[in-house]
Structure 1
Amino acid sequence: MPWFRKTGIIFIPISFFGVLLYLLTLAFCVNVFITIDRNSHSVSDTLYGIFPFFTGAFTILFWIASNACEKK
């Protein structure tokens, strides 16, 4: 059973596991943002701090989604 449906360049979750994966990724990103922003002195410090974590998290999410999507 597929977890995602591809719509353009976006993957839409269509199962419980797809939604769970999106929510866990978003929870991770919120946690990283709060932790890094607490110690930042400017907006650029925050952006430089969160960039590697957000990029890695969404790369893994989209890789899983591309492998667990509906086949046409």
Structure 2
Amino acid sequence: MKLNWFTRKGIVYLPASIIGWLIFAAALLYAVYAFIDIDSRSHLVSDMLINFVFNFLLIGLAYTIVAYFTEKKPAGPLSL
């Protein structure tokens, strides 16, 4: 079964189907939730930014891994 949830444009993976958009929205909503949660517990701006950047990188890594394995590969000259 071939999954075509994302397409690659340069170094960015863009959603290409409804499932791709749902995964993108879930990642974005979780990033916003993590930001609000970290902001409510931080006393300094630097604490909040350091913790959020780490969480944002983990969210981006998870999104990239899912997108890499479910991307629509371009048809090459030798593909059947």
Tell me if both proteins adopt one fold, taking TM over 0.5 as the criterion.
Answer: yes
Q: Which runs of 5+ in 2 are unaligned?
A: 75-80
Q: Where does residue 51 of structure 2 map in the other structure?
A: 49
Seq. identity, %: 32
- What's the TM-score once normalised by structure 2's chain length? 0.83
Cα distance in 2 between the residues matched to 1:26 and 1:3: 17
Report how far residue 42 of structure 1 moved: 2.0
Q: Which runs of 5+ in 1 are unaligned?
A: none
Cα distance in 1 between the residues matched to 2:42 and 2:72: 42
Q: Deviations over 1:14-48 (max 9, x none)?
A: 10110000100011111110011012122211111
Q: Where does residue 33 of structure 1 map in the other structure?
A: 35
Q: Where does residue 64 of structure 2 map in the other structure?
A: 62
Q: How many residues align?
A: 72
Q: For the aligned residues, what is the CA RMSD?
A: 1.1
Structure (1 or 2) with the greater helix fraction? 1
- Give the alignment partner of residue 23 of structure 1, picking from 17, 22, 25: 25
